[in-house]
Structure 1
Amino acid sequence: MGLEKKDFNSKDDSNKFEFKKAALTYLKHWKWFLLSIIIFGAYAFYTAKNRVPLYSATAKIMLNDESSGGNPVLKDLSLMSNEENSMVNDEIQVIKSRKLLGSVAKKLNINVSYHVLGRVNAYELYKNNPIDINFLASDSIIQKTNSQFYIHIISDSNFEFKIFEEDVPKNYAFGESISTSFGEIIITPKGNIKGALDSNIRVTITSIENIIAQLNGGVFLAQSGEGSKIVDIFMSAPNVNKSIDIINTLVDEYNLATIKKNKERAEFTSNFIDDRVESLTSDLVSVDDSIVKFKVRNQITNISNKSGLLSTNSMSSQQELQTLRTKRNMLDYMLGLLDNDSYEMIPSNLGVGDASISALAIRYNELLERRRVLLKSAGENNSVVLELDQSLNAIKKNLIASVNNNIGTLTIQVNSIQGQLSSLNSKISYVPAQESKLISIQRRQSIKESLYLYLLQKREEAEISQTTTLPSAKIIDSAYSLGVVKNSNSVLYFGSMLFAFLLPFGVIYILNLMDTKIHNKEDLENQIRTMTVLGEVPRIKNNADKLITFNDRSILSESFRIIRTNFEFLNRDVKAEKYRNVIFVTSTINGEGKSFISLNTALTIANTGKKVLLIGSDLRNPQIFTAINTSKKEERSKIGLSEYLSDYDITLNEIIHTKEVNKVKLDMLLSGQIPPNPAELLMDPRLETLFDTVSEEYDYVVVDTAPSMLVTDTLLMHKYAGHTIYVTRAGYTEKRILNFAKELNEDKKLNHMMLIVNDVKESNFGYGAKYGYYGAPEKKGFFKRKKKA
């Protein structure tokens, strides 16, 4: 059998996930899986056979559009409504509120339950219990109590009572007072007591708080569809009648609660409206008084008519003022003509309505015309002309006096009209403010009147709604039974089988995850890729022979033959000539079986007819003699390697002895007595002489050395080894300490290192584990042995 060489520089695929490999990791523990399946299967079968069936009940309701329960007053008066158009999901939470569930529990009295005890299970007697329990304590105490007691009905007049199932029962008569931790009780029979003779009944008292928690987890509500106002209610319980009563009562309690709430809202709304109507009545009276006082104070009946009259008077005054000013301007012009010394014609129409001024003007113009005519024929000193001048001056004087008088009169009139016009303009400018103030008062009056009328209407509606409040939930289908809940046993079996697989799987996974030790050749190869693994040595039972015998065909012997063959294949490539046949056997720490490997390796090679020497060089803790000591009378040799190295008078022939182990002859050089300075002895030059001699005389020299990590003994004598077998032990050697072996190999502190895995379980064994060894006796299973028998 050859051993292939590995390309350690190439990429290794060992890190890739292999399903078959992972599956085999768990399949080798198939017994635990089978045991788990049997246990959980038996549990599922027992539970399914004896479990009380569950019955499902359902109901269908439709929630009203208005959260106020159909009250239009509360909908219009949104300031008085806690919610508008409540969402269905919110109403579902209201239905499942603790308050409503508690009301259901109290109304149905389900905090006290009766169960008749069978061989395995207990069955609830809902509304069919043969006895009644009368509690003398207050309801508030009973509703907070969690307790139970047992009753055995002996006859229609007597029964046995006990608190705990293992208690000794006491005999009581029906109607007799019984003392308990939650007060005295009186048990009375019902009409069906004779049908319950010899029955064992368990009475359970559960607090309302616990009942609420049970109902909250047992009652399910869901919308029929997205956006739908229809709600489906479900409940599953061992007693279908109880589920139906709970669902129907829950809907009734919800409707009663909403009706009560809406009545309270309507009453509150009515009271609020009454208060507001009273307040608005007072406000309206105050506003009316304000309007009256305002009109009286401003002397107006109709502010619009007053505004028109003032505008007309203002226009008339302005026209009159304009006329007077025109007349005065005309008189001023006439006065200007009369004030100069010359004689000029004056307009006769400038008298501005004054007849005397007009007459004088005409007379003045006539005389002036005569004078102009006379002057054409006579001079200015003519007596007639002079007489005319006197007449003209007299008329002019009279005209000036009349004009001045008229101008004064007009001035007075103008001033008077200007005063009147100023007063009118002031009143006209004040009219908008008066009108604005009056409009403001009238607006307040209008608003309060509108609100007053609105509240009067709503008060009537509120009064009506108190007697016409509708429930929030319309019952489409009352609660009814859906029958036994199906597939419950299938779920039980499936869950049990699933858990039966998951439990051992999880335990094995965690153990493998936490495992830090190697278990077979594959583990070792994954940890150290730069060294060759010669083979695996199986675990040997305590009562089996741990040493190879002559012509042995056991699995132990075959594993060492594989190791020997692999070693010989690798030995061909070793270039060193000196010490090529010297094999050191070492390990990292003690307890890994290096002495066991050393001895059986030597015996395996000796079985082929080779001349083999086994040297025990572990001077600190020698184990070779213990392994081969088959007779208690046989004594350890007094001289060995330690004496040879310390006493130059001792020769090799004196310390090498031939022993027959299991009919196999083997030369041995034992370690001798334990010296005080083993490291210094191994540095003695005689050691080189020893290996030079034995490597020439023997075909193979197998050296059992000390653990490499604990002491330096093996490293001190490594130059005498052609090969080093490094022993690891399955389930014992930690993966992390294998780094020490890698360092020894990389630093070449030990020559030509090769690995062996010792003490491997058969389930973890390599290629031969599944098929056994060729020629080995066939292992027969239980059924084959039975068939043969």
Structure 2
Amino acid sequence: MKTHHNPKHNELSVREILEQYTRYWYLFIFGVIIAASLAFIYLRYTTVSYLSKGTIIIKDEKSDGGAEELAAFSNLGGFLSRFKSSKIENEIAIFKSKRIIKEVIIALDLNILYESVGTIKTTELYQYKPFQVQYLSINDSLGEPNRMIPKLYFEIENETQYKVYNESNSIEGVYTFGTKVDLPFGSITVIPNLDNATKFKSFISKTVSVSYRDVDKVAAVFQRSLNVANELNNSNVVVISMQSPVRSKAEDFINELVFQYNRDAIEDRGQVAKKTSDFIDSRLEIITKELDSVETNKESFKSSNRLTNIEAQAQLILENASDFEKRQFNVNTQIELANTMIDYMENSSNNDLLPSNIGIEGGDVSESVNNYNELVLQRNRLLKSSTAKNPVVVNVNDQIEEIRQNILNSLKNTTNSLKVSLRDLNFQESVLNSKLSKVPTNEKIYRGIERQQGIKEQLYLFLLQQREEAAISLAVTAPKAKVVDKAYSSSTPVSPKKSLIYLGSILAGLLVPFLFIYSRDLLNNKISNRRDIETGISNLNLIGEIPKLKKDEEQLIQLNDRSILAESFRILRTNLQYLFINKLENTHKSNTVFVTSTIKGEGKTFVAFNLALTLALTGKKVVLVGGDIRNPQLHRYLPRELQNQPGLTEFIMDASIKARDIASKSSENENLSIVLSGAIPPNPAELLMLDRTKQFFEELREDYDFVVVDTAPSMLVTDTILINKLADVTLYVFRANYTEKRLLEFVNDAIEDGRLLNVAGVLNNVSLSNFGYGNKYGYSYSDEKPSFKNRLFRR
């Protein structure tokens, strides 16, 4: 079939589009009320979350001068910038490490959850707990504690006794506070909290649940909720935050996290001091033995040679060489210290800390050693919460290897330089020795012994000083994280957001009815109003709309009827009369109206009968003909005694019958006569093609002012198409919410092809919300009380 479109009818105004939805205003109000109620219930019983945060500064003791001193090593390249950029990230990783979080959980007993069991909502107890459950022992054979230890429910009987049970009631009993209780999974002791007697009594007869959870899993939960961020660029300020339904719990967690971090950092720095102290002690033991040996040699030499004051003999030469001796002494001391450090580094691994502040001149080596130790400590802390393949650990290992090699190279270069200086000093010493050739040989030997003694004494005293400094550093260690703001919480919940929830519920309450109506209209393939017909059929004059009737309403128009049904047929009658006036070719006496439809069930018989009654109410003589000889329906509105009267088929078959002979007066109106369709013939189409059919209508026109014919459906059979040329007007009946939109194509094609002539449309079974007249414009057809909707929106 061909499809046709009328652009004028296809366009919907904004008002018409809105009316498609505003007519169901009560659905939107109901939807908003339901959605807002659900939002209220959700907010009433949903656990709210608060934001808790604390601020600290990661102190860096080497930030002032260390960078410049470290820059003195030209071969370190870009290590300094990489070290500074990754330092805060490394500290943040330690804060979020599972190892530190587990220590916090154990310190605060956060793996034991106390909850007050309500009728609908369960609330966590944290600040005040009516009692404390101590898990004394857990059977190892039971497996994982969080899986095998059941949740326990406690009910306080009085100040001395309590009842405990589990969900399966495999554990149940009444016990005394403070006593050891043996349960299937282990032993517990319950200690009452009687500090606040009023609060304790308020929990009597209430149910409190206690859950023992696995520390690792609880740590994983806190690890996901914890947020540690360096919010200020190029600074050491770190903000620690987390969301929790219990504000005091989150605040305690953050404060304890900072404490555990500082404790861990102090332990790390204590390891450096202890390592340095151990190194100094080992060197002191060696130097003490060497010093004892030198002093013993000096004593033996002086005793065997009977020497007392041999220095006076070379006083003049020695005064001239005093400056040289000091330089030679310092060079030997530095060589000894450098060789000691090189020997230690070559015999230790990358995992060992290096002794610091051992007296090597030049701040570059000392600063490098300090930075090396700091990197080793950072790497060890990271390995506690990650693997050696972690990119951060790999990066730190590379930095450790690089700076260790640089320190070793610097020490070797320093040693070589000192050896060159010592070689030069030795050369000068040979010159002086030549000048001292006149000094007794004993003096030379004795001076060498004293020089060795001085070196050992100087080194011994220096190591004693360094050991005291290391002991002080071990005893006094400042926290690494300085607290700027202790943990505090927001006064209002951050989740769920009430305004957002209510706004979303209102939008959902409006959207659901909208989608329902939109989907219903989108999936609806039935016509519902006159616009659907005007859109599907390009040249059809819709002259009437018949309202939908209730089950208990009268289907036939009565005398002096003021119902909306009667008024709609009066409108149809008036519009129909204008069609008759406009027919210039109308030359016969009366006007003939054929009433048809596309398929059965669209109400053509109902429309035909009421139209005939409406025309008869004007005083005109009207005859209603049952033109559907295949499936007659007109007899439904007639008394039983008239249902077997001869009709149209008998007139066509019997030439002796006159049209007036088969017309019966209707009991509904004296001006209305009815001609039934008659017996159902075997060949209805061929029967209607006979000349007697035309003669039948000509006789009726002579006797009646209006002839109304209830014909067969046009799409199902050809009967109406065959006799359509005998009608002055063909009323085509459509039924709202019954006739499919695709069937309009048949009507449109039949009109354009000329198979149906002088067609006008009637829309039957229209709901009041789609009705084009009457109450839609505030006019009442009856004395009925207006509906609540009409009274509410009356203007």
For residue 712 of structure 1, the aligned residue among 700, 718, 722 is: 718
Q: Distance in 2 between matches of 1:447 and 1:230?
A: 31
Structure 2 counterpart of 1:583 = 593
- RMSD over aligned Cα atoms: 4.9
Q: 1:77 to 1:600 in 2, by over 3 A?
A: same
Whichever residue aligns with residue 701 of structure 2, its letter is S
Structure 2 counterpart of 1:173 = 175
Q: Structure 1 residue 34 and structure 2 residue 29: aligned?
A: yes
User: How many angstroms does 1:648 deviate by?
Assistant: 3.9
Q: 1:745 to 1:41 in 2, by over 3 A?
A: same
Q: 1:626-637 to 2 correspondence within 5 Å? A: 626=636, 628-629=637-638, 633-634=640-641, 636-637=643-644
Q: 1:778 to 1:227 in 2, by over 3 A?
A: farther
**1:587-637 deviation line (CA, Å, top 9, x unaligned):** 2222221111111111111211222221122223222211x14x5x54622
Q: Distance in 1 between matches of 2:619 and 2:344?
A: 125
Q: 1:187-336 to 2 correspondence within 5 Å? A: 188-192=190-194, 194-195=200-201, 196-204=203-211, 211=218, 215=222, 218-220=225-227, 224=231, 230-251=237-258, 277=346
User: How many angstroms does 1:276 deviate by?
Assistant: 7.2
- SS of the equivalent of 2:697 reads helix
User: How many angstroms does 1:652 deviate by?
Assistant: 2.2
**1:194-222 deviation line (CA, Å, top 9, x unaligned):** 53322211334566687567546654556
Q: Structure 1 residue 729 and structure 2 residue 728: aligned?
A: no
Q: Structure 1 residue 541 and structure 2 residue 550: aligned?
A: yes
Deviates more, 1:245-254 or 1:498-507: 245-254
Q: Distance in 2 between matches of 1:707 and 1:273?
A: 113
Whichever residue aligns with residue 579 of structure 2, its letter is L
Q: Is the contact made by 2:621 and 2:671 (CA closer than 8 Å) also made in structure 1?
A: no
**1:695-721 deviation line (CA, Å, top 9, x unaligned):** 343222222122222222222222222
Q: Distance in 1 between matches of 2:257 and 2:89?
A: 17
Q: Distance in 1 between matches of 2:91 and 2:409?
A: 39
Q: Distance in 2 between matches of 1:210 and 1:769?
A: 69
**1:454-509 deviation line (CA, Å, top 9, x unaligned):** 899xxx99x99x98999886532121233233894444433333332222223222
Q: Structure 1 residue 606 and structure 2 residue 616: aligned?
A: yes
| Number of equivalences | 600
Structure 1: stretches of 5+ with no match in the other structure: 1-7, 281-445
Q: Distance in 1 between matches of 2:756 and 2:159?
A: 96
Q: Structure 1 residue 621 and structure 2 residue 631: aligned?
A: yes
Q: Distance in 2 between matches of 1:250 and 1:742?
A: 81
Q: Is the contact made by 1:66 and 1:84 (CA closer than 8 Å) also made in structure 2?
A: no
Q: Is the contact made by 2:48 and 2:493 (CA closer than 8 Å) also made in structure 1?
A: yes
For residue 154 of structure 2, the aligned residue among 130, 133, 151 is: 151
Q: 1:582 to 1:78 in 2, by over 3 A?
A: same
Whichever residue aligns with residue 594 of structure 1, its letter is K
Q: Structure 1 residue 644 and structure 2 residue 651: aligned?
A: yes
Q: 1:254-653 to 2 correspondence within 5 Å? A: 277=346, 450=410, 452=412, 474-485=482-493, 488-577=497-586, 581-626=591-636, 628-629=637-638, 633-634=640-641, 636-653=643-660
Whichever residue aligns with residue 488 of structure 2, its letter is Y
Q: 1:263 to 1:736 in 2, by over 3 A?
A: farther
Q: Distance in 1 between matches of 2:253 and 2:224?
A: 13
Q: Is the contact made by 1:74 and 1:266 (CA closer than 8 Å) also made in structure 2?
A: no
Q: Is the contact made by 2:622 and 2:671 (CA closer than 8 Å) also made in structure 1?
A: no
Q: 1:199 to 1:706 in 2, by over 3 A?
A: same
Structure 2: stretches of 5+ with no match in the other structure: 280-340, 350-405, 417-462
**1:27-83 deviation line (CA, Å, top 9, x unaligned):** 221222222233334444455566666544221234578999x99899969889997
Structure 2 counterpart of 1:141 = 144
Give the TM-score normalised by structure 1: 0.64
Whichever residue aligns with residue 159 of structure 1, its letter is Y
- SS of the equivalent of 1:536 reads strand
Whichever residue aligns with residue 116 of structure 1, its letter is S
Q: Is the contact made by 2:5 and 2:536 (CA closer than 8 Å) also made in structure 1?
A: no
Q: Is the contact made by 2:9 and 2:531 (CA closer than 8 Å) also made in structure 1?
A: no
User: How many angstroms does 1:557 deviate by?
Assistant: 0.9
- SS of the equivalent of 1:736 reads helix
User: How many angstroms does 1:243 deviate by?
Assistant: 1.4
User: How many angstroms does 1:553 deviate by?
Assistant: 0.8
Identity value in percent = 34
User: How many angstroms does 1:170 deviate by?
Assistant: 4.2
Structure 2 counterpart of 1:15 = 11
**1:491-534 deviation line (CA, Å, top 9, x unaligned):** 44333333322222232222222222221122322333321111
Q: Is the contact made by 2:605 and 2:633 (CA closer than 8 Å) also made in structure 1?
A: yes
Whichever residue aligns with residue 203 of structure 1, its letter is V
Give the TM-score normalised by structure 2: 0.64
- SS of the equivalent of 2:8 reads coil
**1:518-572 deviation line (CA, Å, top 9, x unaligned):** 2112232233332111122111100010111112110011111112222222333
Q: Distance in 2 between matches of 1:454 and 1:732?
A: 105
Q: 1:648-687 to 2 correspondence within 5 Å? A: 648-661=655-668, 663=669, 665-687=671-693
Q: Is the contact made by 2:342 and 2:408 (CA closer than 8 Å) also made in structure 1?
A: no
**1:109-153 deviation line (CA, Å, top 9, x unaligned):** 434321223455433211532141526245971245796443222
Deviates more, 1:531-540 or 1:118-127: 118-127
Structure 2 counterpart of 1:132 = 133
- SS of the equivalent of 1:561 reads helix
Q: 1:773 to 1:645 in 2, by over 3 A?
A: farther
Q: Structure 1 residue 771 and structure 2 residue 773: aligned?
A: no
- SS of the equivalent of 2:86 reads coil
Q: Structure 1 residue 57 and structure 2 residue 58: aligned?
A: no
Q: Structure 1 residue 693 and structure 2 residue 699: aligned?
A: yes
Q: Is the contact made by 2:567 and 2:781 (CA closer than 8 Å) also made in structure 1?
A: no
Q: Is the contact made by 2:266 and 2:477 (CA closer than 8 Å) also made in structure 1?
A: yes
Whichever residue aligns with residue 484 of structure 2, its letter is I
Q: Is the contact made by 2:165 and 2:173 (CA closer than 8 Å) also made in structure 1?
A: no
For residue 186 of structure 1, the aligned residue among 181, 188, 191 is: 188
**1:301-355 deviation line (CA, Å, top 9, x unaligned):** xxxxxxxxxxxxxxxxxxxxxxxxxxxxxxxxxxxxxxxxxxxxxxxxxxxxxxx
Q: Distance in 1 between matches of 2:207 and 2:715?
A: 74
- SS of the equivalent of 1:726 reads strand
User: How many angstroms does 1:658 deviate by?
Assistant: 1.5
Q: 1:10 to 1:512 in 2, by over 3 A?
A: closer
